[in-house]
Structure 1
Amino acid sequence: MTMIQIDTRVIKDRVWYVAFNDERGQLNSPYHEDHSVPKIAAAQPFTVTLNTVWISGKPDQSMLHWLLHPNTDVVIKSTTVLGTHPEVQRIHYYQDSVPIHQTLTGFLAQTMFVCDDYSGNDNLALKLQVLMVDDSSKQDGLVTSFSGLVNGSGAIFPAILPYTMIAVGLSKTVEQFIKGTDETKPLLECSINFKPAGHGCPILREGTYVVFDREVEAGDYILIDNNRLVSSDGQDITIDATYAIFTIEIGNAPSPEFVVSQRVATLLTQLDKGGNDPSKTSIEFVTETLQLYSHFKDLQRYADLKAESAKRSLTVPEQALIERLGQREELQPFLPR
Structure 2
Amino acid sequence: MQAKWWYVNPNLIDGYGSLLPPSTPMADGNQRYFRDANKLRLTVEGAWVRDDKDGWPKGSNDLVIASRFRIGKKPPITKLHLYRPDVPEKTWEPVAFHPEIFATNDFRESDGEIALQLNIYDEDGLRDDAQQQLNQALDGSTSAFALAFPVFAPYASLTAGVGRAMAALVDKLDEHDELIKGKIRLSVNKPANQPFDHLQPGLLVCFASSVDASSLLLGSDRKIYYQDQGTHKLYQEKSYCVIRIDRDGPSAPEFEINQSMATLLTEIELGKGSKGTQALVHLRETLEAYTTFKRLKRHNELQGKASRSEEENQLLDELKSDPKLAPYIGS
SS of the residue 2:325 aligns to: helix
Q: Is the 8 A contact 2:19 2:216 kept in 1?
A: yes
1:305 to 302, 306, 316: 302
CA deviations over 1:65-122 (Å, ceiling 9, x no partner): 6342431212111122222222222111112222221111153222221111112342
Cα-to-partner distance string for 1:26-77 (whole Å, 9 max, x where unaligned)? 111111233525222221102112112011227xx7xxx6342431212111
Larger CA deviation: 201-210 vs 213-222: 201-210
Q: After TM superposition, give the deviation of residue 140 of structure 1 in Å.
A: 1.4
Distance 1:187 1:274, change over 3 A: farther
Which among 193, 197, 206 is matched to residue 201 of structure 2? 206
Kept in 2, the 8 Å contact 1:165–1:171? The answer is: no
Residue by residue over 1:121-176, the C-alpha shift from the partner in whole angstroms, topping out at 9 and shown as x without a partner, is 42111111102212232211211212224897598111112322336874344344
Contact 1:90 1:112 in 2 (8 A): yes
Q: Provide closer, same or farther for how the CA distance between residues 130 and 93 of structure 1 changes in structure 2, counting only shifts above 3 A.
A: same
**What is the aligned-residue RMSD (CA, Å)?**
3.1
Query: What whole-Å deviation, never above 9, does each CA across 1:182-236 have from its counterpart, x for those lacking one?
Result: 6425221111101299959872111111011211112141112211101254542
Which residue identity is paired with 2:60? N
> Secondary structure in 1 aligned to 2:4?
strand
Separation in 1 of the partners of 2:146 and 2:163?
A: 20
Aligned to 1:160, which of 148, 152, 157? 152
Matching residue of 1:4: none
**Partner of 2:213 in structure 1?**
218
Q: Distance in 1 between matches of 2:143 and 2:41?
A: 18
Q: Tell me what 2:179 maps to.
A: 187
The aligned residue for residue 267 of structure 2 is 270
> For residues 135 and 69 of structure 1, what CA distance do their matches in structure 2 show?
18
d(CA) in 1 for partners of 2:236, 2:66: 22
Unmatched tracts of structure 1, length 5 or more: 1-10
- Provide structure 2 residue ranges, at least 5 long, that are not aligned to the other structure: none
The answer as to 2:259 corresponding to 1:258 is no
Whole-Å Cα distance in 1 between the matches of residues 165 and 177 of structure 2? Answer: 20
Q: 178, 183, 187: which is aligned to 2:170?
A: 178
- Equivalent residues in 2 for 1:318-333 (5 A)? 318-333=312-327
Name the residue aligned to 1:52. Answer: 46
Q: Distance in 2 between matches of 1:200 and 1:118?
A: 23
1:82 and 2:71 correspond: yes
Cα separation, 1, equivalents of 2:90 and 2:321: 66
Question: Structure 1-normalised TM-score?
Answer: 0.82
Are the equivalent residues in 2 in contact too, given 1:121–1:201 (CA < 8 A)?
Answer: no
TM-score in terms of structure 2 length:
0.84
Q: 1:267 to 1:41 in 2, by over 3 A?
A: same
Cα 1:48–1:280 change in 2 (3 A) is farther
**Which of 18, 37, 46 does residue 43 from structure 1 map onto?**
37
| Number of residues of Structure 1 aligned to a counterpart in Structure 2 | 319
* Contact residue 69 and residue 117 of structure 2 kept, 8 A: yes
Which of 126, 131, 150 is 1:135 aligned to?
126
Quick one: structure 1 residues 280 and 312, their matched pair in 2 at CA, closer, same or farther if it must change by over 3 Å? closer
Partner Cα distance (2:242, 2:61) in 1: 20
- Does residue 34 in structure 1 map to residue 26 in structure 2? yes
